[in-house]
Amino acid sequence: MLVKITSASQLSSGQLEKIKKAAIKKYGSDLQFVEKIDESVLGGLSIQVGSEMLDATLRAKIEGKDLTKESVGFVTTFGDGIAKVEGLDDVQAGELIDLGNGKKGLALNLDKKDIGIVALDSAEHLHAGSIVRRTGTILSLPVSDKIIGRTVDSLGVPLDGGEPIKADKMMLLERVAPGVMSRQSVTQPMQTGIKAIDAMIPIGRGQRELIIGDRQTGKTSVALGTILNQKGQDVICVYVCIGQKGSSLAQTRGILEERGAMDYTVIVSATASSTAAQQFLAPYAGVAIAEYFLGKGKDVLVVYDDLSKHAQAYREISLLLRRPSGREAYPGDVFYLHSRLLERACRLNEKHGGGSITALPIIETQANDVSAYIPTNVISITDGQIYLEADLFNKGMRPAINVGLSVSRVGSAAQLKAMKQVAGTMKLELAQFRELEAFAQFSSDLDDKTKAQLERGERVNAILKQGWDTPLSVAEQVVIIFAAVRGHLDKIDTNNIKEWEVAYLDFMRDEHAAILESITKEAKIIETTEAELEAAVKEFNNNSALVNSDNNG
């Protein structure tokens, strides 16, 4: 075993002899002594035996370090943010390592020969022979109520130029998901404010709903629209940016600030310029923040934008750590990477606070290929998916949701009865429309019934078009869908549907607010309200210049 003695000046032979006797007495006679003179220690000496170090130098005293035995390691190789270290006995997986110069690393590989450490920031001062130290701390970040409205990195360090966040609690980034006995069924809706989703692909509080599609199809817009719709809903939102451009994140924050959404939102940032380690840790930081508020009985919405880049960052780290690679060069535990993250989304029972974490992971596909490795993994973990199609987007459908391929496996249990009353008919109308639309391409001679079904389907499809930044309340969505499925839009040109919708909503808010209040209060359409709603739609259409009078009768 090597014993390294470091001092500011040459030790006398008597001093060396005393140190050697003490070391042999404690560690045995099989020792090899090396003396090193380092003027930077200023005075005193440090003794290192294997991975243990006793630092009694003047420099350590000036730096405020107590005379304690430390567990240290030696860097054997360092490059691309990965350090291979010998020593560090009893180090734990996921432990923070002091790399010196105020830099931290994360112990990921625990091999027999050495430890694989990922630098969490640029650690250019490291080289072969550098000393690193254990901290005894498992990776965690400081959280308090004051984190709301802030932009932080993967370790909770503010990036918005504000004050450091004082911790009410240190939250572990890696944590076991709540067990079955502490959960309850999903019964409360997480309203997105988007008609197509709330009506046909409903999301419940505590659900994990995947948003999937090619780039530039509006995935982030759907997630941001959902965050905007949580205003006044007593929901805390956490937006996790993984591998996105810094300019895109700045634009996102600007929108959230402008609309007042930062009053209940936290942004965790690991942009494309961040290290792979920070991108790898960002979603775990996001869910750790969510779990802090979950512990207070709050409902939390977490958006992971996006997990494709998260998997790529983890692949980069794994390959640099020389871990065995599998399909598409991803490591074998890439499924566990996302399953242990998304399983932490839940709805707790009243005994455990009754809070919930709803997860909206985003996955980017290539050329609509949902059968690729990462998309299929995440689809199998989540409780449904919202599929955004590039072809629909290019045709002008916003949001470009393919309702046929999208599904919510548990959200319908949380859907309000008022929405179920109108949405069930709408699903049927759309399904018939799609079937007939494909058939009609091969036939120019259609009977009147088929033409009527096609025209109805076109109008039902048209009302699903909606700007992502104009969320609607449930009552407003219900009265619009009611008008469409009851045939009140059949006499309106499809090009005028949007204009009709805006004028109709203004009419309902001004003239028939009681109907909207009844739907909101009762959460269903009662008989008297249904009759009043029917009469209100007819009244509006009779006075609207958008209704095509040629088709009357």
Active site residues: 409
Contacts of 141 (CB under 8 A, 6+ apart): 152, 154, 155, 156, 170, 171, 173, 285, 288, 289
The count of other CB atoms within 10 Å of the CB of residue 335 is 18
Tell me how far apart the alpha carbons of residues 62 and 8 are, in angstroms, rounded to a whole number. 15
The count of other CB atoms within 10 Å of the CB of residue 124 is 10
Tell me how far apart the alpha carbons of residues 126 and 385 are, in angstroms, rounded to a whole number. 45
Q: Looking at residue 178, what DSSP letter applies?
A: P
Three-state DSSP state, 516: helix
Residue 347, judged by CB atoms within 10 A of its CB (0-12, 13-18, 19+), counts as buried
Tell me how far apart the alpha carbons of residues 550 and 159 are, in angstroms, rounded to a whole number. 61
Tell me how far apart the alpha carbons of residues 3 and 9 are, in angstroms, rounded to a whole number. 17
Tell me how far apart the alpha carbons of residues 253 and 265 are, in angstroms, rounded to a whole number. 10
Do 123 and 130 touch, CB atoms closer than 8 A?
Answer: no
Contacts of 513 (CB under 8 A, 6+ apart): none
Distance of CA 184 to the CA centre of its chain: 22
Tell me how far apart the alpha carbons of residues 469 and 57 are, in angstroms, rounded to a whole number. 61
Three-state DSSP state, 526: coil
Identify the residue whose tokens are 């739609």.
537
Phi and psi for 178 in degrees, rounded to 5? -55, 145
> Secondary structure of 228-251 in the HEC alphabet?
HCCCCCCEEEEEEEECCCHHHHHH
Do 245 and 270 touch, CB atoms closer than 8 A?
Answer: no
Query: Which amino acid appears at position 257 of this protein?
Result: E
Which residues are 306's β-sheet partners? none
Which contiguous run of DSSP H or E holds residue 269? strand 265-270
Three-state DSSP state, 398: coil
Residue 82, judged by CB atoms within 10 A of its CB (0-12, 13-18, 19+), counts as buried
Do 437 and 225 touch, CB atoms closer than 8 A?
Answer: no
Helices (H), 138-275: 195-200, 219-228, 246-258
Three-state DSSP state, 176: coil
Torsion of CA 389, 395, 400, 405, to 10 degrees: -50
Q: Looking at residue 132, what DSSP letter applies?
A: E
